[in-house]
Amino acid sequence: MRVAHITDLHVEAPPQFAQLLSKRALGAVNLYLLGRSAHFTLRTVEALVDAVVRSEPELVVCTGDLTSTATPQEFERAAALLAPITDRFPFLVLPGNHDVYTTESLGRFQQHFGAWSNGGVYPYVRSHGGVDFVALDVSRPDFLSRGLTPREQLDALDALLGGGTAPAVVLLHYPLRDRRGGPYGPFTRNLENAVELEAVLARHPRVIAVLHGHEHHGYRTLIPRDGAPLPSLNPGASGYAFLPERRRTAHFNLYDIDPTGALGVERYAFDGSVFGPEAGGAYATGG
């Protein structure tokens, strides 16, 4: 089964004045005065959608941050850009911290993407090709960029994973480990209770991989557990502008997964015009 993994599109649309009376004001300064807006482009997202459609996956998963500051206009634009994917392929999505940027934006993700996220009830599982894909929502409005897995989701995940035998892939926005295999940090932008989530995953050997986003420079690493360590994969930001002078560009992953749990990885990179297979193989060029 072929699965496309996209993440961190950061679709932008300038906020209206009334939308700046919150944490969003700081985000707008970062985007439009300090230049971060140039790090992500709609051109990249359009090329991404075209590449994913041409790859003809059996499933597409998105691990969050579809928007930059979670305004209505950003969600509308993201939904329109992704329509060639959502209209054609099975699609699973979960929110990132930028999609729940402020308290008043909490419902917008479900308004626009609830059809592909179980109406906001997490964890949820979708089975495709003999594999269970299990999505968590670990994002929350926070003045910093920290995530948290609610206790009820941890308990429900434990029960869900214990109630099946098929290979399982767990989807969340935040990394559990950094690119060197250590706990992901700093504390200002990590998953606060990552240790608790790792403990749940370690109890269930049927989990074959963790897919995430959040960190814009992609990497793969291993999460320690008894027996075989657990692969953790992040393609990197799929909406990044092509900035070769900074060694920065967009990526997405294609996975080939069979019912035994064997997983192959192919990573696609943006060259400023189109996405193509990463030179030298997946992650050969680093982040």
User: Where exactly are the structural domains of the chain?
Assistant: 2-277
pLDDT above 70 as % of the chain: 91
Position 218 scores a pLDDT of: 97
Q: What is the pTM of this model?
A: 0.93
Helix, strand or coil, per DSSP, at residue 148: coil
pLDDT in tens, the chain (287 residues): 999 999 999 998 765 444 445 555 455 445 444 445 568 999 999 999 999 999 999 999 999 999 998 999 999 999 999 999 999 999 999 999 999 988 877 889 999 999 999 999 999 999 999 999 999 999 999 888 899 999 999 999 999 999 999 999 999 999 999 999 999 999 999 999 999 999 999 999 999 999 999 999 999 999 999 989 999 999 999 999 999 988 899 999 999 999 899 999 999 999 999 999 999 999 998 87
Q: At how many degrees (to 10) do helices 42-55 and 72-86 cross?
A: 20
Q: How far is CA 150 from CA 5, 32, 45, 133, 195, in A?
A: 24, 34, 31, 19, 13
Query: Parallel, antiparallel, or unpaired for β 59-62 and 2-6?
Result: parallel
d(CA 198, CA 181): 13
pLDDT in tens, 244-254: 988 899 999 99
According to CATH, the topology of domain 2-277 is Purple Acid Phosphatase; chain A, domain 2 (3.60.21)
